[in-house]
Amino acid sequence: MSERDDMPSNWGRWGDDDELGTLNLITDEVRERAGREVRTGRSVSLAVPIRPAPIVGGPFPPRTAEESPVQQIMAFTGSPALAHADIMVVTNHHVLSTHLDALGHMPQNGQVYPGRPAAEAVTMGGVVHGSTTAFAAGIVTRGVLLDFGADGPVPADHRITSADLDAAAERFGVRVESGDALVARFGWVETRYRGNPMPGMTIDAARWMHDRGVSLYAGDLSDSYPMTPGAPPAMHGVALPRMGMPLVDAVDADELAAVCAELGRYSFMFVAAPPRIHGLTGVPVNPIAIF
């Protein structure tokens, strides 16, 4: 068996037409378990703040990681204005925007989860399979933080393995269970995407998530750079297209880590309710942890 054949996969597990992927693991029982995590009502956002740029200032779309992912056109009704409104132009997969990747975002070998030809799933008119339609009901589950950056940012050349995941779970006294959302903090929220190299997850780590039934991954980083020659990136090349695991990219887990350390607990209710816009490859989201 080749290494590629041995990679974790959920193709066919929930049927050939499935668009939920690992969100299928979030059952009513899982949501009820998540509800039991709410004891104080304290909440923390995991989203990076965005300051829109006037679209007249260009460029459109943004050309670099330093330019705002949201561009804005102001609209005034009447003169003097009776109302103020605006139009947003959003770059969904911008590195400075906390966003939720749909399963059709990344093809592998010309296919998207769970084996649909990419040319049929994603068209010039929008995404007809594996889109943000799957997020219409929102995501409510139990979340677990593994803070790899608790003692300082993870070194740029470090790749997170299953042993690292086991060690972090033991250190913070949590057990990752089926249906959980995994939040990973590398301590790179201020310096990520500023060139190579960067730490990230390995395929071994993705297999660990598969074995434990992780339903969603959210991290300030996900894939390591530079990538391993000849191997797909662990999260965007294996977890998303093969395992069917939605990814929340570009989170800011610094405040979450501080609150977890203060409260002495690293599990919480995780809520993500993106705009109910169908047919996209991804959408901005404001994930919330509730204690």
User: DSSP 3-state assignment of 239?
Assistant: helix
Q: How far is CA 76 from CA 56, 70, 85, in A?
A: 16, 19, 6
pLDDT of residue 227: 85
Can you give the residue ranges of every domain in the chain?
A: 21-48+98-290, 53-90
For 151, the token pair is 């003692």
CATH superfamily of the 21-48+98-290 domain:
Putative cyclase (3.50.30.50)
Compute φ and ψ for 148, nearest 5 degrees: -70, -20
Contacts of 147 (CB under 8 A, 6+ apart): 168, 172, 185, 253, 257, 260, 261, 266
pLDDT of residue 66: 77
Check the CA dihedral 34-37-38-42 and report its sign.
Answer: negative
pLDDT of residue 60: 66
Q: How far apart are CA 173 and CA 150, in angstroms?
A: 14
User: DSSP 3-state assignment of 128?
Assistant: coil
Compute φ and ψ for 168, nearest 5 degrees: -65, -45
SS3 content of the chain, % helix, strand, coil (to 5): 20, 25, 55
CB 243 within 8 Å of CB 7: no
Q: What is the pTM of this model?
A: 0.93
For 91, the token pair is 């770059």
Contacts of 100 (CB under 8 A, 6+ apart): 132, 135, 246, 247, 248, 272, 274, 282, 283, 284, 285
Q: What is the pLDDT along the chain (291 residues), one digit of tens a residue?
A: 334 557 999 999 999 999 999 999 999 999 999 999 999 999 999 999 999 988 876 666 666 677 888 889 888 888 898 999 998 889 899 988 999 999 999 999 999 999 999 999 999 999 999 999 999 999 999 999 999 999 999 999 999 999 999 999 999 999 999 999 999 999 998 777 777 799 999 999 999 999 999 999 999 999 999 988 888 999 999 999 999 999 999 999 999 999 999 999 999 999 999 999 999 999 999 999 999
CB 219 within 8 Å of CB 251: yes
